[in-house]
Chains A and B, each alone.
Chain A
Amino acid sequence: MGVTSLAPSSADDPLTYRPVALVDLLDRVLATGVVITGDITLAIADVDLVRISLRALIASVGALAPPSEVAPLAPPSEVAP
């Protein structure tokens, strides 16, 4: 994401620079961003878009890793404000 003014000071530092992780990016470009419904993508609506993509992710990654011990992907209703 480019250089940050929040310079890292050690590996344990919460502000250490990291390249953009796909999962962080998808949090943002799928679940957020201004909702302008394109006339071509009319039926790929809000939640639908997140669901179909994350289902693909789980299917792809799930094949490589054991199931998570923790809760599965929180359903949208559990997103705290």
Chain B
Amino acid sequence: MSTTAEPARAVPGTGSAVWLHGVVAAVTATPAGTTGIAGTPVRSVAGAGLVAVVSDVPLAEYGEEALRRNLEDLAWLERAARAHHAVVAALCGAGPVVPARLATVHRDDDRVARVLAERHDELAGTLARLTGREEWGVKGYVVPGATPRTEEPAAGGGAGAAYLRRRKAQLTAREEGQRIAADAAAAVHAALAGYAVTARRHAPQDRRLSGAPTAMVLNGAYLIDRERLDGFAALVRELADRHPEIRLEATGPWPPYSFVAEPSAEPAWA
């Protein structure tokens, strides 16, 4: 519980700071021996009846300027995201957790404790709302073969014109296929959202990042009561059968990353 962070107000880039992993209820024990973001031990900072789970980071690597640079480094970003996630996922095993967004860094424990006091009602309310629930992701991808084929147009006008007609028909078929897939995605999301406590759609992932062979049309997140997980699984399978025009893929369980912000605290674009 003691703070080792040194104030670094005068000399940016030296000293250490405090990386916030997440907030848990005061009764939850911090997992012993868990390693934090920079390989330092995970600590807890108590305040206002809540516990912030943090780890110390060197400002040379996690100060604002350094973070900006490091976040553009894919290897650094992946290591940081996985280390942060490992702590949050470990906390989830013990009880509800409000995960912090990546790169939430404070000067010292006092500043973290002040946040716990200032945001107490919102954080406590979120913890209560998340108790006994977990996040699942369902992604949907276009299935090319499931889209209707356009009839081959009648010949005439030479090879060039025929090529252009074929090309146009292919494009039309692709547009139609994407429309059908988008409709299926909306139907699947509506059904899953109806079962879930809360739901939201993330932006579809770019294929260059996902590595998927076809376009993503659904990137949904669903907050599910643990007691009702079996029904959720059954519903996902049923929807996959009912909508062969998209391929569904579930991920989870996730810490409730997608459901910690109250609507008022949600970024304007979400």
Contacts and interface: CB of A to CB of B under 8 A. Distances in A.
Interface of A: 1-2, 4-6, 13-16, 18, 20-44, 46-47, 49, 52-53, 55-62, 65, 67-74, 76-81
B73 A56 contact: yes
Given A33-B100, A49-B103, 6 more contacts: A13-B237, A32-B259, A40-B17, A70-B206, A79-B201, A81-B200
A23 B62 CA distance: 22
Nearest to B241: A14
Interface stretch (B25-33, B81-89, B147-155, B156-164): B81-89
A67 B208 contact: yes
For the residues of A in contact with B, the DSSP-based class is: loop
25 contacts: A1-B89, A6-B229, A14-B249, A22-B78, A29-B81, A32-B101, A32-B202, A32-B261, A33-B99, A33-B102, A34-B23, A34-B260, A35-B101, A39-B107, A41-B67, A44-B71, A49-B101, A52-B72, A59-B72, A61-B209, A65-B207, A68-B207, A71-B215, A77-B269, A81-B200
Contact of B104 (A18, A38, A58): A38
Contacts of A65: 207-208, 211
For the residues of B in contact with A, the DSSP-based class is: mixed
Interface of B: 17, 20, 22-23, 59, 62-64, 67-68, 71-74, 77-78, 81-82, 84-85, 89, 98-107, 111, 115, 119, 123, 126, 137-139, 200-211, 215, 219, 221, 229-230, 232-233, 236-237, 240, 247-255, 257-261, 265, 267, 269-270
A36 B270 CA distance: 16
